[in-house]
């Protein structure tokens, strides 16, 4: 079954990508969608068998490389952590495949699109089932390649090409850190296999690496370098700039990248390498700060964005911040729980946005929407469900709520308790998380109100032809909505509460609420009542504020935007990160490139070298050419003078 899960998408991608002309678009779509569904069904079976049944195992398929005593196998590692990721990846991927049948029905290159989707899925599956850092890096780079192809799928569109390049280059920055981290692991441990590295972590707690005359704690350096890679892939603060631009790809790509695959790879890496991070306290504190900063940064920027997909993209960036600061505080199971629930409601929101865009003749600007809830009632209701899950609506102390209520609130509660226990930056992360939750509620309901309610502000022809999506697009939304409603409540006990110790079975620390972690009952490890109420309270405030601005006073936001105040401009321009990076990196790199190219290469090397020699020869040849008259008697006269000069030289030499 594991072989089908991992390799079915790869085989489907090869068939659809290489033999599209022979089998046709529909057959290519059928093969790739069938492969994704087969992988999803197999992943569900493995989840029950491995995660719930406790049957962790590893399949070694073949020796991948062997150099001296160094040997790396291609393997499929099945434990609870990988089983959870398999379910997330394949379920969202299969639904995206089905959804794309309708969304991409008019695209002439849809076979290539489906091949890229399946290739993306395989790369992520190879990443999460790796049992060594080399195989993980293979999947890591495969996901980067496939994302480049998908973001720039509409290659005739300049903005799509620019976005693809931006994503690719930004991720190369992070990947450089990952490569150095893997090299450092091999230098310290002499192996790259997870079990061997993690089993020997305690023996290297005091190991020091000397690099360029500077000494570093080995585990801190390794943890830091791995986190640089995670920052790039999961779009954390400083390396987040590629994420919103990735919206230039087709909407199903946005759902796949931002819900279940590429952006969650960094969280998975940190959780997989938790034995290293548990002993790297400095780097863990840095992860907490970066994660909390990302959560609040992306939430503030989301307040002022007008592209429906970009709002959801910044929401993804913010939620990833929650996952990272949880991991930085040592709350790995809570981070994975939020990753799990987030996949369902974020994919639901992205595909719901695609339904809106599809129904409004590819309009994405929310300022040109409004008044369509009666025309698209199913999409409206499903996106409200996704919004309720994202904002974490639920009833504290009762255990009723949407998926985000269980996972995000668990992070906030455990962050508070970690801070009270003295974990660095725990209370800072808690308060930032609370504030970001209020902003999340505001911009999420802003999206709903601007998109579906009020007067239509766009082209009347778009409203006239607005229509609900067909069942091919709605069925995936309905299935994702079921996950957005029930995934949190159903799996909370296994992921973070009483059954977590047995559920994770050593692949992750179970968390403070797990039975046996803080006594046989664990009921004493609970935050104050106000901490449990605060997330819901701030969410309600964000909702009421959105109601006031976009339902009761719908003209007010437009007036604020028209005034172009400094705060609004700051948020609208995304804290001016693109402009700052353009000055610091793009323009300086261009200037440096021009210096070496035009000054060094063209003027110095070519000027003094090939071009200089050629120019000298050419100038000399032209001067010699001027002496050629073309008359025979001129040449005979010159020859006579030459013979006479030779004779005189010989006579003078003979001394006659």
β-pair partners for 215: 210
Q: Looking at residues 93-111, what average pLDDT do you find?
A: 91
Name the residue among 511, 538, 540, 539 with its Cα closest to residue 526.
Answer: 511
Which of 128-142, 194-208, 292-306, 512-526 is predicted least confidently?
Answer: 512-526
Of 633 and 427, more confident: 427
User: Is 486 part of any domain?
Assistant: yes
Instruction: Mention every residue, 6+ apart, whose C-beta is less than 8 A from residue 464.
Output: none
Q: Looking at residues 524-552, what average pLDDT do you find?
A: 91
Instruction: Mention every residue, 6+ apart, whose C-beta is less than 8 A from residue 272.
Output: 81, 136, 194
DSSP 88-116: HHHHHHHHHHHHHHHHTTT-TTHHHHHHH
Q: How far apart are CA 268 and CA 86, in angstroms?
A: 12
DSSP 464-485: HT-----HHHHHHHHHHHHHHH
Supply 136's token pair: 């993980």
**Structure confidence by residue, pLDDT tens digits, 363-382:** 899 999 998 999 999 999 99
| pLDDT, position 515 | 53
Which burial class, exposed, middle or buried, applies to 447 when counting CB atoms under 10 A from its CB (0-12, 13-18, 19+)?
Answer: buried
| pLDDT, position 426 | 94
| pLDDT, position 656 | 54
Cα pseudo-dihedral 221, 81, 168, 158, rounded to 10: -150
Confidence band, pLDDT 50/70/90 cuts, at residue 559: confident
Name the residue among 479, 153, 453 with its Cα closest to residue 347.
Answer: 479
Q: Kindly report the number of other CB atoms within 10 A of residue 2's CB atom.
A: 23
**Structure confidence by residue, pLDDT tens digits, 472-504:** 999 999 999 999 999 999 999 889 888 888 899
User: Is 255 part of any domain?
Assistant: yes
| pLDDT, position 97 | 94
Three-class DSSP labels, 494-563? HHHCCCHHHHHCCCCCCCCCCCCCCCCCCCCCCCCHHHHHHHHHHHHHHHHHHHHHHHHCCCHHHHHHHH
Confidence band, pLDDT 50/70/90 cuts, at residue 653: confident
Coarse DSSP helix, strand, coil percentages of the chain, rounded to the nearest 5 percent: 75, 5, 20
**47 within 8 A of 83, measured Cβ to Cβ:** yes
Q: How far apart are CA 352 and CA 316, in angstroms?
A: 15
| pLDDT, position 523 | 44
Confidence band, pLDDT 50/70/90 cuts, at residue 538: very high
Phi, psi of 375 (to 5 degrees): -85, -25
Q: Is residue 430's pLDDT more than 90? A: yes
Number of domains observed in the structure of the chain: 1
In angstroms and rounded to an integer, the radius of gyration of the C-alpha atoms of the chain is 31
What is the chain's mean pLDDT, rounded?
89
Q: Looking at residues 214-238, what average pLDDT do you find?
A: 93
Q: Looking at residues 439-452, what average pLDDT do you find?
A: 96
User: Is 499 part of any domain?
Assistant: yes
**Structure confidence by residue, pLDDT tens digits, 565-611:** 888 889 988 899 988 988 888 888 888 877 777 777 777 777 767 77
Measured CA to CA in angstroms, residue 328 lies from 287, 422, 471 at distances of: 5, 14, 42
Confidence band, pLDDT 50/70/90 cuts, at residue 259: low
Supply 581's token pair: 């990076």
User: Is 649 part of any domain?
Assistant: no
| pLDDT, position 362 | 86
Which of 425-429, 441-445, 643-647 is predicted least confidently?
Answer: 643-647
| pLDDT, position 427 | 95
Q: How far apart are CA 56 and CA 77, in angstroms?
A: 8
User: What pTM does this model have?
Assistant: 0.89
Q: Kindly report the number of other CB atoms within 10 A of residue 327's CB atom.
A: 29
Name the residue among 485, 510, 507, 484 with its Cα closest to residue 497.
Answer: 510
CA angle (167, 171, 172) in 5-degree steps: 120
| pLDDT, position 522 | 40
Q: Looking at residues 195-215, what average pLDDT do you find?
A: 90
**Residues of the chain above pLDDT 90, percent:** 62
User: Is 329 part of any domain?
Assistant: yes
Q: Looking at residues 168-180, what average pLDDT do you find?
A: 93
**Residues of the chain above pLDDT 70, percent:** 97
E-strand stretches of 38-158: 57-67, 70-78
Q: Is residue 520's pLDDT more than 70? A: no
**Structure confidence by residue, pLDDT tens digits, 124-135:** 999 999 999 999
Q: How many alpha carbons lie under 13 Å from residue 196 in its C-beta half-sphere?
A: 14
Measured CA to CA in angstroms, residue 267 lies from 261, 327, 415 at distances of: 11, 8, 17
| pLDDT, position 630 | 74
| pLDDT, position 44 | 95
How far is C-alpha 650 from the geometric centre of its chain's CA atoms? Answer: 86
User: Is 520 part of any domain?
Assistant: yes
Name the residue among 112, 95, 178 with its Cα closest to residue 139.
Answer: 178
Instruction: Mention every residue, 6+ apart, whose C-beta is less than 8 A from residue 217.
Output: 206, 207, 208, 209, 280, 282
User: Is 205 part of any domain?
Assistant: yes
Which of 11-20, 66-75, 200-209 is predicted least confidently?
Answer: 66-75
DSSP state letter for 618: H
Instruction: Mention every residue, 6+ apart, whose C-beta is less than 8 A from residue 295.
Output: 318, 319, 321, 322, 325, 432, 433, 436
User: Is 653 part of any domain?
Assistant: no
Q: Is residue 519's pLDDT more than 50? A: no
How far is C-alpha 180 from the geometric centre of its chain's CA atoms? Answer: 20
Which of 222-226, 447-451, 534-538, 593-597 is predicted least confidently?
Answer: 593-597
Which domain, by its residues, includes 462? 160-563
Q: Is residue 70's pLDDT more than 90? A: no
């Amino acid at each position: 079954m594991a072989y089908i899960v991992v390799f079915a998408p790869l085989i489907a991608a090869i068939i659809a990508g290489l033999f599209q002309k022979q089998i046709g678009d529909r057959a290519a779509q059928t093969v790739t969608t069938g492969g994704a569904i087969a992988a999803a069904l197999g992943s569900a079976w493995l989840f029950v068998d491995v995660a719930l049944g406790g049957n962790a195992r590893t399949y070694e398929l073949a020796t991948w490389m062997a150099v001296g005593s160094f040997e790396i196998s291609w393997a499929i590692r099945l434990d609870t952590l990988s089983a959870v990721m398999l379910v997330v990846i394949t379920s969202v991927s299969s639904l995206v495949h089905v959804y794309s049948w309708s969304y991409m029905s008019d695209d002439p290159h849809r076979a290539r699109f489906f091949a890229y989707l399946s290739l993306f899925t395989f790369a992520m599956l190879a990443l999460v089932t790796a049992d060594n850092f080399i195989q993980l890096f293979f999947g890591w780079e495969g996901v980067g390649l496939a994302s480049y192809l998908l973001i720039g799928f509409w290659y005739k569109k300049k903005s799509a090409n620019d976005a693809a390049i931006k994503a690719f280059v930004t991720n190369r920055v992070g990947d450089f850190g990952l490569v150095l981290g893997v090299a450092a692991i091999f230098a310290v441990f002499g192996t790259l296999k997870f079990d061997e590295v993690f089993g020997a972590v305690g023996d290297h707690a005091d190991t020091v690496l000397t690099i360029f005359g500077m000494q570093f704690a080995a585990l801190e350096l390794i943890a830091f370098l791995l986190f640089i890679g995670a920052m790039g892939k999961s779009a954390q603060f400083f390396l987040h700039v590629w994420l919103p631009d990735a919206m230039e790809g087709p909407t199903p790509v946005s759902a796949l990248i931002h819900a279940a695959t590429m952006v969650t790879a960094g969280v998975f890496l940190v959780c997989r390498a938790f034995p290293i991070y548990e002993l790297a306290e400095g780097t863990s504190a840095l992860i907490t700060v970066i994660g909390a900063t990302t959560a609040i940064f992306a939430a503030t920027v989301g307040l002022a964005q007008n592209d429906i997909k970009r709002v959801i993209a910044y929401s993804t960036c913010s939620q990833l911040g929650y996952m990272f600061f949880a991991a930085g505080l040592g709350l790995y199971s809570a981070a994975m729980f939020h990753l799990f629930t987030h996949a369902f409601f974020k994919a639901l929101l992205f595909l719901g946005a695609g339904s809106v865009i599809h129904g409004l003749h590819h309009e994405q600007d929310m300022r040109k929407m409004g008044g369509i809830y009666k025309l698209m009632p199913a999409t409206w209701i499903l996106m409200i469900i996704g919004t309720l899950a994202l904002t974490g609506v639920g009833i504290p102390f009762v255990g009723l709520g949407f998926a985000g209520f269980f996972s995000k609130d668990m992070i906030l509660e455990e962050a508070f308790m970690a801070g009270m226990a003295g974990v660095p930056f725990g209370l800072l992360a808690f308060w930032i998380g609370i504030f970001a939750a209020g902003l999340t509620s505001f911009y999420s309901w802003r999206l709903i109100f601007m998109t579906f309610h009020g007067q239509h502000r766009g082209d009347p022809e778009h409203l006239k032809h607005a229509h609900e999506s067909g069942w091919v697009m709605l069925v995936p939304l309905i299935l994702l909505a079921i996950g957005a409603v029930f995934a949190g409540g159903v799996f909370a006990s296994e992921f973070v509460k009483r059954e977590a110790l047995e559920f994770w079975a050593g692949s992750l620390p179970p968390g403070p609420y797990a039975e046996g972690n803080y006594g046989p009952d664990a009921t004493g490890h609970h935050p104050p009542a106000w901490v449990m109420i605060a997330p819901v309270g701030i969410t309600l405030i964000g909702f009421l504020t959105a109601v006031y601005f976009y339902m009761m006073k719908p003209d007010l936001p437009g007036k604020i935007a028209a005034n172009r105040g400094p705060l609004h401009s700051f948020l609208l321009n995304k804290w001016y990160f693109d402009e700052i990076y353009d000055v610091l990196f793009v323009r300086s790199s261009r200037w440096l490139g021009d210096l070496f190219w035009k000054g060094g290469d063209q003027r110095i090397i070519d000027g003094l070298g090939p071009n200089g020699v050629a120019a000298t020869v050419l100038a000399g040849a032209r001067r010699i050419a001027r002496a050629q008259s073309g008359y025979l008697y001129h040449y005979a006269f010159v020859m006579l003078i030459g013979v006479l000069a030779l004779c005189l030289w010989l006579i003078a030499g003979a001394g006659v």
